[in-house]
């Protein structure tokens, strides 16, 4: 399996995103950057530098549905498009799915203490779609599936950062295309996203993410090709460091709680006083992740008031 990396600019704080051309029996590209003209140029020249043309690409494989990864599926009108079932809903810009998102976020904001009058202004599902492509999947991948045209390359479901996240594990070379599961310089955010299965309630993204790291830790990885930044080699060591750091940050939230009974919004204000108003969704997701972690590890408990608002307190 030969892998060529393409660095693609994004308009997001994360900086460049990586795409990978993989030559097996089929010629595939893993992730395609956001749908901006700058990203299109980088993609085109990157494919050329690897010795191919845009139209040579036979398959686009997506690690997850976020716009920095799933934009330019539209640039490959004849290629197969493969990814998680959740991804398909985004690429279809499915109206019912968008309404489900908006309702889901409205309910979460309300139950975590955002005043009713701020809720409508705080839900921006459709803005996220601007740089996402519009070609639906031609094939849905499930956990454990082999990628067509790449014998031994398996999709492994690793949810948490996104509800559509896969890593791709090559059983022969022990290389892994890792999406945003583990990155060189940053810790991916455990974003709260509505689950595909509408009957299961809110996902506990940080717990899901930690479980996904555990899946990765079990693999004897030689090299990980990441969605942002450099390749990674010593995966177990990095995972231990990241989990330790996350535990310390969660314990900081535990300290901030003091003897009070607080909503997620109140904890978020204490944790991120400077940025909480400008980055409400992100900071609430992070805080809620810490609270879920503390509750799962029996440091704290939560109760739901008659008004349907969750309050968190030390045990
Ligand atoms: Zn990303």
Which pLDDT score is estimated for 110?
Answer: 93
How many A from CA of 70 to the centre of ligand 1?
10
Ligand 1 center to 208 CA (angstroms): 17
CA diameter of the chain: 63
What pLDDT is attached to residue 78? Answer: 95
The class of domain 254-314 in CATH terms is mainly alpha
pLDDT the model gives residue 145: 98
Phi, psi (rounded to 5 degrees) for 196: -60, -45
pLDDT of residue 5: 98
Token duo for residue 275:
């940025």
Provide the pLDDT for residue 277. 82
* Secondary structure E strands in the chain: 2-8, 17-23, 27-30, 59-61, 80-83, 139-140, 153-157, 166-170, 175-179, 223-226, 300-304, 310-314
- Can you give the residue ranges of every domain in the chain? 2-92+132-233, 254-314
- State whether residue 156 is helix, strand or coil: strand
Q: Structure tokens of 4?
A: 């060529």
Distance (Å) from CA 133 to ligand 1 centroid: 15
The Cα 246–Cα 248 span in angstroms is 5
What's the gap in Å between 239 CA and the centre of ligand 1?
18
Give the three-state DSSP class for 169. Answer: strand
Task: List CB-based neighbours of ion ligand 1 within 5 Å.
Answer: 68, 180, 227
Instruction: State in Å: Cα 262 to ligand 1 middle.
Output: 32
Compute the distance from residue 17 Cα to the ligand 1 centre, in Å.
6
Ligand 1 centroid from CA 48, angstroms = 23
**Considering only the top CATH level, what class is 2-92+132-233?**
alpha beta
**For the chain, which residues score pLDDT lower than 70?**
none
Whole-number Å distance, alpha carbon 33 to ligand 1 midpoint, is 9
Burial class (CB in 10 A: 0-12, 13-18, 19+), 165: buried
Cβ within 8 Å of residue 293, ≥6 positions away: 206, 207, 210, 246, 247, 250
Q: How far is the CA of 183 from the centre of ligand 1 (A)?
A: 9
Distance 180 CA to ligand 1 centre (A): 5
Q: List beta partners, residue 170.
A: 153
| CA–centroid distance, residue 188 to ligand 1 (Å) | 8
302 alpha carbon to ligand 1 midpoint, in Å?
32
Rounded CA-CA distance 27/22 in Å is 6
Give just the sign of the alpha carbon dihedral 88, 90, 95, 98: positive
């Amino acid at each position: 399996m030969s892998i060529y990396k393409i660095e693609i600019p994004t308009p997001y704080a994360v900086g460049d995103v990586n795409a990978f051309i993989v030559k097996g029996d089929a010629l595939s590209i893993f992730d395609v950057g956001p749908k901006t003209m700058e990203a299109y140029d980088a993609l085109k020249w990157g494919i050329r530098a690897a010795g191919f043309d845009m139209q040579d690409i036979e398959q686009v494989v997506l690690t997850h549905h976020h716009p920095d990864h799933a934009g330019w599926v539209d640039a490959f009108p004849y290629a197969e498009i493969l990814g998680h079932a959740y991804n398909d809903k985004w690429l279809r810009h499915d109206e019912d799915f968008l309404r489900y998102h908006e309702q889901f976020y409205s309910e979460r904001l309300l139950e975590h203490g955002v005043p009713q009058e701020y809720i409508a202004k705080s839900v921006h599902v459709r803005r996220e779609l601007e740089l996402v492509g519009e070609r639906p999947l031609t094939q849905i991948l499930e956990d454990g599936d082999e990628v067509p045209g790449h014998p031994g390359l398996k999709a492994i479901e690793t949810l948490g950062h996104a509800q559509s996240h896969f890593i791709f594990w090559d059983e022969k070379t022990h290389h892994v295309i890792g999406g945003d599961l583990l990155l060189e310089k940053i810790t991916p955010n455990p974003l709260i996203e509505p689950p595909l299965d509408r009957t299961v309630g809110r996902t506990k993204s940080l717990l899901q993410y930690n479980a996904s790291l555990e899946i990765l830790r079990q693999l004897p990885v030689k090299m990980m090709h990441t969605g942002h930044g450099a390749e990674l080699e010593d995966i177990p060591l990095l995972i231990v460091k990241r989990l330790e750091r996350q535990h310390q940050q969660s314990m900081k939230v535990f300290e901030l709680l003091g003897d009070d009974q607080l909503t997620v919004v109140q904890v978020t204000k204490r944790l991120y006083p400077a940025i909480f108003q400008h980055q409400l969704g992100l900071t609430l997701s992070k805080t809620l992740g810490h609270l879920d972690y503390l509750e799962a590890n029996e440091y704290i408990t939560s109760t739901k008031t008659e008004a349907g608002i969750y309050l968190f307190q030390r045990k």
